[in-house]
Amino acid sequence: MNLGEKILSDLVVALIELYPNIEVETTKNKLSTVLSEYYIQKVKLGEVHPDLEDKIQLFISAKRLEGLSSITLDNYLLELSMFADVVKKKTEDIATADIRMYLSQDGSLKMSTIRKKLSVLKSLFSWLASEEYIKRDPTTKLKAPKDEYRLPKALSIEELEMLREACETVIQRALLEVLYATGCRLSEVYGLNIADIRIGAH
């Protein structure tokens, strides 16, 4: 029994369970006619869905024609292959929740890494929607995570002394001391006027 006959048989059995009085031969003939117009491929449990795999290849080909570099294309393909390996669904069946699940599955990922992955997925699904391969873009509602706030690193005593010794003029030393003592930005110190300085102020 080939795959088409197996599917037809399974469908008929399922319909008989739902509708015991169904005309089996008539139903079987009708289904056979409908199925003959389609190419059907069985997806094994745990495998990447061939539809998603095909759409990724189409996307990569389109981006290659747009002139993207081979390095960028390789990065796209790597990211999308990892996604397809986790979300084993037909492209049009992929929902926003699937993408959220994929992006949040590894709690150790940095925000910058998640942002990169989401950017690639947005590019894929936006292209699929524009080419009308899918009816809606599941990434539309997803926003890129904010940058991680990093505290500024302070100079060690040894580093400060090295900078002091490197000063060649009194003005350089004065600027260094102002920067270190006040925590001002370089642009703020550069914009200082004599009138801004209150000698002897506490």
Write out pLDDT tens, residues 52-107.
999 999 999 999 999 989 999 999 999 999 999 998 888 999 999 999 999 988 77
Cα pseudo-dihedral 8, 10, 16, 19, rounded to 10? -80
Residue type, 60: I
Q: Find the farthest-apart pair of alpha carbons in the chain and give their distance in angstroms, rounded.
A: 104
pLDDT for the residue numbered 77: 94
Query: Which CATH class for the 50-130 domain?
Result: mainly alpha
Please state whether the predicted TM-score (pTM) of the whole model is above 0.95: no
Domain residue spans of the chain: 3-35, 50-130, 157-196
Which candidate, 169, 150, 165, places its Cα nearest to that of 111?
A: 150
Is 1's pLDDT higher than 70?
no
Is 148's pLDDT higher than 90?
no
